Chain A
Amino acid sequence: MNKGKYFAGKVTAILLTVVLSMGIFTGCGGSNEGQDSGSITITNVSYDPTRELYTAYNELFAAHYKEETGKDIEIVQSHGGSGSQARSVIEGNDADVVTLALAHDITSIEDAGMIDAGWLDEFPSNSSPYTSTIVFLVRSGNEKGIHDWDDLIKDGIEVITPDPKSSGGACWNFLAAWDYADKKYNGDEELMKDFVAKLYNNVIVMDSGARGATTTFVENGQGDVLLAWENEALLALEQYPGEYEIVTPSISILAEPSVAIVDENVEKNNTADVAKEYLEYLYTDDAQRIIGENYYRPSNETILNEFADTFDLSVNLCTIDDFGGWDKAYADFFADGAIFDEIYQQ
C-alpha cells in the first residue's frame, strides 16, 4: 500500500510540474501589456479590410512616437469580421483601441460597460478619421454590362456579397441597395423588398466576411460582380492590374468606420495617454495622406481633394442617418425575422 502511495506521489509531482510550467507560460502571456520594460505595447482591434492601412499607419505612428518620447512602441494588430472583433473585446480580448466598421459594434462594447458614453464625440468627424463607400467590382471589359443596381437583378448575373448576418460590410451593401430601391420605387415597400429579394437571389456565394468575399471573387474567380468596399475594390485594381474595373453606382452609402479608446482596458494596462495619441494622430495630415494612399477617403476635406483622381467624389451618398441610425437600421433589417430574413428565406 505504501508503494501505491509512492506511485501516487510521483504522479502528483509530474502533474504539479506540468501545472507549474503552464503557470509560467501563463505569466508570460499575461504580462506583455503595459509600460514596464521601456517599450510600450498597445493592441488595436480592427476589422478585416484595414490590415494594410494599419500596417502602414503603425509604422508612421511608431516613428512619430519614438521621435517625440524616445520610446519604442509596438502595436499589435487584430483583424476579423467587425462584429466578431467587437465580441472578442467584450469577452476579454485586451484591446486598447478599437477601430471597427460600424458605430453599432462600438456601441455594443459601450453597452458592456467597457467604453464610456460620449465616445462618438471624443474625436473629430463623429470619431471617423476616414470613410468609404460601396462600389461594384467587375471583371475587365464588363462584358455583362453592369452599370447600376438595376443590372444586378437581371437573370444570369452572379453577385458576390458577404452575409449581412455576420459581416458589417455586407450590411452597408444591403442598405445601399435598399436606398436605391427606395428612390426608384418612391418608398413602395413591397416593390423595394421585391427588388432586393431579386438581387439576393443572384448571390451565389455568401462569405462570412468582406475579405472572404473579395478572395472568392478575385482569387477563386467566382461571380460577375462583387459588391465591395471602395478601398477593397481599389486595392484589387492595384494588386491585379488590368483584370478588374470599378463601376460606381448612381447611389451608394457613406460608410463611417469609427474609432474609440477602450476605457476599461487602457486603465488596467496604463495606456490611456498613448491610446489617445494613437487615435488623435490619425487626423494629422501625414496620417490622412496614408489613409488616402490606402484607398480610404480621408475625413480632412483638403487632403481628400488631393486624391480626387482616385475617388469618384460625385457619387450620390446616403448616410446611416437616413435609416434612423445603426441601432434602428439593425433592428429593422438584420435582426432575426427582420426584412433580410423575410426576403432571403422566401
Chain B
Amino acid sequence: MKRSREKIVKWLLIGITVIFLLFMLVLPMVEVIYRALKDGLETYKTALTAKNTLSALRVTLIATVIALTVNTILGIIMAWQVTKFDFKGKNILSTLIDIPFSISPVIAGLAFIMTFGRSGWAKPVIDGINNALGTDIVLVFSVPAVVLATIFVTFPFISREIIPILHAQGRTEEEAAALMGASGMTIFRKVTFPHIKWGLVYGMILCTARAFGEFGAVYAVSKARGKTFTLPLEVDALYMSGTADSITQAFAVSSLLVGMAVIVLILKNIVEYRGKSKKSV
C-alpha cells in the first residue's frame, strides 16, 4: 500500500520535473535549431561563414579566453583570501566579490562608459598612459572594452565555486603544512589544490559559459559590427536586420551558441562525474 503510493509520488514528481524542464529548457533549444535550419542547410552554412559571424566568433573567443584566465587566477586568490584568513570586513569583501553576479548587466556597461568613456573621469588617466607609453589604448567601444565587460560579469563565478569547498575543508591541513615549513605555493599545490580541483574546473566551465553568452554589458560597450561585435551581438544585429532571411540567420548564429553551450554542459557533466567518482574512492 505504502509502496505503491510512494511509487506514484515518485513518478508524479519525475513527470512534473520533466514537463517543466521540457517547456522551459528543451523546447527553446529545439526552437532555435528548428528556426536555424528552416531554410535549409545552404542558408545555414552561409550564415555561419559570413564575414561578420567569423569576426564575432573571434572576438567572443578572445574575450572568453582572457576573462577565463584572469578570473581563474583571481578567483583562486580571492577564495584563498576569504577562507584561510580572518579579518575585519570579511563579509563585506565577499559580498563585494559577488556583486557582478546579481548586478544588472546594463549597469555594468554603464559603469565602464562612465569611467573610461570620452567624458568619463578616467579618460585623462588613460590618455596620460597612452602619451607616456606611446600606446593607443581605448577602453570603450573596442575589443579591450568587450574583454573588460566580460571579466566584470564573470568575476565571481570561480571564487563562488571554490569558497564553499575551502570552507568545508577547514584550515588544519594548511596550518600543519605551514608549521612543517612548506611555502605558500607548495601548500597550495600539494594540500589545497587537490581539494578544489573539481570545483575549480566546474567554476571555470560556468565562467566560460557565461562569458561567451554575455549580452547586456557587452552591448553597451561594443558598437562596430564586424570589428568588436561578439556572437550574441551579431545575433541581435541579424535579428534587427528586418529581412526574412536575416531572422533565419540570427537563429543560425544562435544555434552556434547553443552548440557551444551544449559542449560546455557536456564537459561540465564529465567533470562532475569524475569529481564525484574520485570523491567516493
Contact of B135 among A15, A21, A27, A88 (CB under 8 A): A27
B66 touches A32 (CB 8 A): no
Tell yes or no: B237 within 8 A of A by CB: yes
B143 touches A91 (CB 8 A): no
Tell yes or no: B141 within 8 A of A by CB: yes
Tell yes or no: A7 within 8 A of B by CB: yes
Q: Residue of B at shortest CB range from A74?
A: B226
Residues of chain A lying within 8 A (CB to CB) of residue B147:
22, 25
User: How far is A80 from B241 in the complex, measured between Cα atoms in Å?
Assistant: 11
Given A18-B69, A30-B135: A6 and B223 interface contact (C-beta under 8 Å): no
User: How far is A326 from B183 in the complex, measured between Cα atoms in Å?
Assistant: 69
Tell yes or no: A214 within 8 A of B by CB: yes
Q: Residue of A at shortest CB range from B246?
A: A51
**Which one of B83-91, B112-120, B208-216, B260-268 is at the interface?**
B112-120
Taken residue by residue from 218 to 245, chain A's Cβ proximity to chain B (1 for < 8 Å, 0 otherwise) reads as 1100000000000010011001100000
Residues of chain B lying within 8 A (CB to CB) of residue A8:
184
Closest approach, in angstroms, between the C-beta of B156 and any C-beta of chain A?
A: 18
Closest approach, in angstroms, between the C-beta of A125 and any C-beta of chain B?
A: 26
Tell yes or no: A335 within 8 A of B by CB: no
Closest approach, in angstroms, between the C-beta of B257 and any C-beta of chain A?
A: 19
Tell yes or no: A10 within 8 A of B by CB: yes
B144 touches A22 (CB 8 A): yes
Residues of chain B lying within 8 A (CB to CB) of residue A27:
135-137
Tell yes or no: A38 within 8 A of B by CB: no
Tell yes or no: B191 within 8 A of A by CB: no
Taken residue by residue from 67 to 91, chain A's Cβ proximity to chain B (1 for < 8 Å, 0 otherwise) reads as 0000000001111100001001011
Tell yes or no: A45 within 8 A of B by CB: yes
Tell yes or no: A212 within 8 A of B by CB: yes
Residues of chain A lying within 8 A (CB to CB) of residue B226:
76-77
A78 touches B119 (CB 8 A): no
A76 touches B224 (CB 8 A): yes
B224 touches A219 (CB 8 A): no
Tell yes or no: A331 within 8 A of B by CB: no
A92 touches B242 (CB 8 A): no
Taken residue by residue from 122 to 156, chain B's Cβ proximity to chain A (1 for < 8 Å, 0 otherwise) reads as 01000000000001111111111101000000000
User: How far is A32 from B59 in the complex, measured between Cα atoms in Å?
Assistant: 14
Given A29-B228, A76-B226, A88-B223: A239 and B135 interface contact (C-beta under 8 Å): no
Q: Which of B188-239 contact A (CB under 8 A)?
A: 188, 223-228, 237, 239
Contact of B144 among A25, A45, A91, A239 (CB under 8 A): A25
Q: Residue of A at shortest CB range from B114?
A: A91
Residues of chain B lying within 8 A (CB to CB) of residue A52:
241-243
Residues of chain B lying within 8 A (CB to CB) of residue A80:
223
User: How far is A52 from B77 in the complex, measured between Cα atoms in Å?
Assistant: 49
User: How far is A85 from B184 in the complex, measured between Cα atoms in Å?
Assistant: 50
User: How far is A133 from B229 in the complex, measured between Cα atoms in Å?
Assistant: 31
Q: Residue of A at shortest CB range from B76?
A: A11
Residue among B73, B77, B145, B240 facing the most chain A CB atoms (10 A cut-off): B240
Q: Which of A1-53 contact B (CB under 8 A)?
A: 2-4, 6-8, 10-11, 14-15, 18, 21-23, 25-32, 43, 45, 48-49, 51-52
User: How far is A18 from B74 in the complex, measured between Cα atoms in Å?
Assistant: 11
Q: Residue of A at shortest CB range from B140?
A: A92
A48 touches B240 (CB 8 A): yes
Taken residue by residue from 56 to 89, chain B's Cβ proximity to chain A (1 for < 8 Å, 0 otherwise) reads as 0000001000100110010001000000000000
Tell yes or no: A94 within 8 A of B by CB: yes
User: How far is A84 from B73 in the complex, measured between Cα atoms in Å?
Assistant: 36
Tell yes or no: A313 within 8 A of B by CB: no
B140 touches A76 (CB 8 A): no
Residues of chain A lying within 8 A (CB to CB) of residue B73:
11, 14-15, 18
Q: Residue of B at shortest CB range from A232?
A: B242
Given A25-B144, A29-B142, A48-B240: A78 and B224 interface contact (C-beta under 8 Å): yes
Closest approach, in angstroms, between the C-beta of B78 and any C-beta of chain A?
A: 12
Tell yes or no: B247 within 8 A of A by CB: yes
User: How far is A76 from B185 in the complex, measured between Cα atoms in Å?
Assistant: 48
Given A22-B144, A29-B228, A30-B135: A3 and B119 interface contact (C-beta under 8 Å): no
Residues of chain B lying within 8 A (CB to CB) of residue A51:
240-242
Q: Residue of A at shortest CB range from B77?
A: A11
Closest approach, in angstroms, between the C-beta of A237 and any C-beta of chain B?
A: 12
B223 touches A45 (CB 8 A): yes
A7 touches B66 (CB 8 A): no
Closest approach, in angstroms, between the C-beta of A22 and any C-beta of chain B?
A: 6
Contact of A76 among B69, B119, B225 (CB under 8 A): B225
Tell yes or no: A112 within 8 A of B by CB: yes
Residues of chain B lying within 8 A (CB to CB) of residue A79:
225, 237, 240
Tell yes or no: B92 within 8 A of A by CB: no
User: How far is A209 from B139 in the complex, measured between Cα atoms in Å?
Assistant: 27
B144 touches A7 (CB 8 A): no
User: How far is A92 from B228 in the complex, measured between Cα atoms in Å?
Assistant: 14
A3 touches B185 (CB 8 A): yes
Tell yes or no: A305 within 8 A of B by CB: no
User: How far is A19 from B141 in the complex, measured between Cα atoms in Å?
Assistant: 19
Tell yes or no: A270 within 8 A of B by CB: no
Q: Residue of A at shortest CB range from B52?
A: A77
List 23 contacting pairs A-B, 8 Å CB cutoff, sorted by A.
A3-B184, A6-B183, A7-B188, A11-B73, A25-B143, A27-B136, A30-B144, A45-B223, A51-B240, A51-B241, A51-B242, A52-B243, A77-B226, A91-B117, A92-B118, A92-B140, A92-B141, A93-B141, A209-B240, A211-B240, A212-B240, A215-B239, A235-B242
- Nearest 6 A-B pairs (CB), nearest first? A3-B183, A29-B143, A30-B136, A7-B184, A91-B117, A7-B185
